[in-house]
Structure 1
Amino acid sequence: MRILFDHQIYSNQNYGGISRYFYELSKGLTSLGNECQNSIYFSENEFMKDREFFNSRSFIPFQFKGRQKVKEHLNQLVSNRLLKKGNYDVFHPTYYDPYFLNTKPASKPFVVTFYDLIHEKFSDRYPTLLANMDEVIASRKVMLKNASKVIAISHNTKKDIIDYYGIPEERVSVTHLASSFLPNTLAPDSHWGDYILFVGNRLGYKNFALFLEAVQPLLLREKSLKLICAGGGKFNDEEQKLIGKLGVEKQLLQIPVDDKRLATLYTNALFFVFPSLYEGFGLPALEAFNCHCPTILSNVSSLPEIGQDAALYVDPENHADILQKCEQFYYDPKLRDEYREKGHQQAAKFSWERVSSETLDIYKSAL
């Protein structure tokens, strides 16, 4: 089968979960004997460096006003040219812009992947964090109306799509994601010591502020214990004020990470906490499982679906519940060992080979 992927996510994301998804999908589908074409000409995305699958070029190396828009426009011209040619069986856009609807031959099906409905579910609660909310939702509506098939990355996301947009259940298929992370036995930095791990963005629905308030008593009681925030950028002014107010500034570290360093952090953490109010899948949970890291997850959205019995669960808006579960792991090494093994077993259920095979079946059903 000939599959065409477009430029969208590779134009807008230098590194991240969605571009990783399409990179792994391209590799997996190719290994199954399919022909994958990526219509991307200019990109700084990390995955574009794999010349076996991509032949993109770095864009003009200096900054200027409108640089991003120029890059996107040029890449869209390339995508439209390939779409018009029609030398593919299925088109899979990498994000939600329906620019191609007047370019793609009507006979060629397209499949779209939905990752979450954060904009739809949290627009009232976090309006300033969800940029271009109305535009995103309008684009999603158009994509759902016209797509031959829709892929959801969890059953919870499928339910959200059906509930919010009212599309027929049979048009939505589920393929869970996977993680390529492996335990990294490199020694942690000496100043880390014993630490709890928090990964990624901390704002809004990621619920970091409430989590920090909840775990404060444990940090104050155990002065040698640290809380490491991997990625997510430096603490902003509001976060620094909260950290100072809680008296834990000497116990918090924010560390920039790449995959290798993040795997080291997972592998050496006492445990990982993911207190998010909503996830479409929850990839950090799977990364932690792969790295044998004991894990605490919110009991909401897709997280129980992904974690099953391999994690402890908390009500993400209940301070006492979060503190209790953190104390359980901190004071019970045997319990941590038990959940290391449970996580390892759960992670084995997810693979990119499975993602690719299931996605290929969906493509075939769209023809």
Structure 2
Amino acid sequence: MKIFYDHQVFSWQKIGGVSRYFIELVRHLPDDIGYVMPPMFSENVYLDTLGDSIPAVKSLSFANYRVRKKIYEAVNQLRSASSLSRGGYDVVHPTYYSPYFLKRLKAPYVITVHDFIHEKYPQYFSDASKVIREKKEVVTRADRIIAISEHTRRDLTDIYGLPAERVDVIYHGASPLSSVHEPVGGVGERFVLFVGDRTKYKNFMNLTEAFAIMSKADPELQLVCAGKPFSEAERAHLAYLGIGGRSIACFATDSQLAWLYANTSCFVFPSEYEGFGLPILEAWSAGAPVALSRASCFPEIAGDAALWFDAADPAMMARAVSEAVYDADTRRRLRNLSSERLKMFTWEKTAELTAGIYRSLSAQ
């Protein structure tokens, strides 16, 4: 049996949860299931882990990244469309929501729904209306639908009116980012870690206020943000709070991120909404204590293996994070609980359950 995975997410995502999901899924497929990927242009860092099992991946060196992405998408879509039209596969699993493939299908398809961020926060995305429209078409026409959490399945039923029985919930897996740990310059002994994009629904500003409260009692504590550099507005806000000199933003490689998780005093995820929350598993895998907003899918994923706070309450957030940073018994308890809970989330299980869907569709 062969599964066709297309180009979509790899055209525009260098690193990120959606592309990591597909790479880990492919890497852990059972032996009786093969896969097909079209040759593509991409700068995705995870594709290299597939080695020679996929056609050569190329990238361009001219123009800025926004221009390159447009070129990648245009060329890659033509290649995916050509491969789809030729056939030679049993099931199609698109990696995002463009409907370009619908008229070229020669087999059933399954779609994975990761979240409903565009639907819930359209004001933060210039392409929100396009993504919402295309996503609804692709998802509602799919032969099978995978949701990455029960919370996402509820969103599918609430927003699209789909019956819950049309949707299979299959969790992500956990795996260490890198066996090599590369220290990040300027990071001290005690630091609070934030990972990823700082779009408004991620609630980063409330985290800075919580950190400002904590910093009054501990002038050595740092706030480290793995992601893009601070914007001018963020730098001004941090300076206003008096924490500009103790706040660091850095683009971290996998080996640097592994080091940050392994050495942080507390990983904090204050987001108002996520589809799953893969960084929680990454932090647990490194033994980091975790503090989370009691929102969206987080209680489902983390259970009792995290400290909790109201995303809208910086003082409550500061108390929860402080407990993780300074209470050795709490850190020990969280480490033991998270180690046990991690057993729920393996890429082998993700791949085997997904393979069951592939087999079912192929037999139709």
User: Counterpart of 2:280 in structure 1: which amino acid?
Assistant: A
Q: Percent same amino acid among aligned pairs?
A: 38
Offset at 1:312?
Answer: 0.8
Q: Give the Cα–Cα distance (whole angstroms) in 1 for the partners of residues 187 and 42 of structure 2.
A: 37
The answer on whether the counterparts of 1:27 and 1:53 sit within 8 Å (CA) in structure 2 is no
User: What do the CA deviations read for 1:139-185 (whole angstroms, capped 9, x no partner)?
Assistant: 01111221001111000001001100101211111110112216868
Query: Is 1:205 aligned with 2:201?
Result: yes
Cα distance change on mapping 1:253 and 1:66 into 2, 3 Å: closer
Offset at 1:56?
Answer: 2.7
Q: Give the Cα–Cα distance (whole angstroms) in 2 for the partners of residues 186 and 44 of structure 1.
A: 23
User: Counterpart of 2:355 in structure 1: which amino acid?
Assistant: L
User: Counterpart of 1:336 in structure 2: which amino acid?
Assistant: R
Query: Is 1:219 aligned with 2:215?
Result: yes
Q: How many residues align?
A: 359
Q: Give the Cα–Cα distance (whole angstroms) in 2 for the partners of residues 222 and 346 of structure 1.
A: 32
User: What do the CA deviations read for 1:246-275 (whole angstroms, capped 9, x no partner)?
Assistant: 111121111221111111111111111110
Offset at 1:68?
Answer: 3.1
Q: RMSD value over aligned CA atoms?
A: 1.8
The SS at the match of 1:272 is strand
TM-score (norm 2): 0.94
Which has the higher mean CA deviation after the structures are superposed, 248-257 or 184-193?
184-193
The SS at the match of 1:100 is helix
Which has the higher mean CA deviation after the structures are superposed, 249-258 or 300-309?
249-258
Q: Give the Cα–Cα distance (whole angstroms) in 2 for the partners of residues 77 and 228 of structure 1.
A: 41
Offset at 1:308?
Answer: 0.9
Cα distance change on mapping 1:332 and 1:284 into 2, 3 Å: same
Query: Is 1:9 aligned with 2:9?
Result: yes
Which has the higher mean CA deviation after the structures are superposed, 151-160 or 184-193?
184-193
The answer on whether the counterparts of 2:97 and 2:131 sit within 8 Å (CA) in structure 1 is yes
Structure 2 counterparts to residues 231-310 of structure 1, below 5 A? 231=227, 233-310=228-305
Residue 345 of structure 2 corresponds to: 350
The answer on whether the counterparts of 2:187 and 2:222 sit within 8 Å (CA) in structure 1 is no
Q: Give the Cα–Cα distance (whole angstroms) in 2 for the partners of residues 223 and 91 of structure 1.
A: 54
Q: Give the Cα–Cα distance (whole angstroms) in 2 for the partners of residues 321 and 240 of structure 1.
A: 24
Residue 47 of structure 2 corresponds to: 48
Q: Give the Cα–Cα distance (whole angstroms) in 1 for the partners of residues 67 and 229 of structure 2.
A: 26
Name structure 2 gaps, 5 residues minimum.
Answer: none
User: Counterpart of 2:190 in structure 1: which amino acid?
Assistant: D
Residue 33 of structure 1 corresponds to: 32
TM-score (norm 1): 0.93
Cα distance change on mapping 1:84 and 1:195 into 2, 3 Å: same
2:170 to 160, 171, 175: 175
Residue 69 of structure 1 corresponds to: 70
The answer on whether the counterparts of 1:220 and 1:248 sit within 8 Å (CA) in structure 2 is no
User: Counterpart of 1:4 in structure 2: which amino acid?
Assistant: F
Structure 2 counterparts to residues 310-325 of structure 1, below 5 A? 310-325=305-320
User: What do the CA deviations read for 1:108-165 (whole angstroms, capped 9, x no partner)?
Assistant: 1000111000111122xxx1x2121110110011112210011110000010011001
The answer on whether the counterparts of 1:293 and 1:343 sit within 8 Å (CA) in structure 2 is no
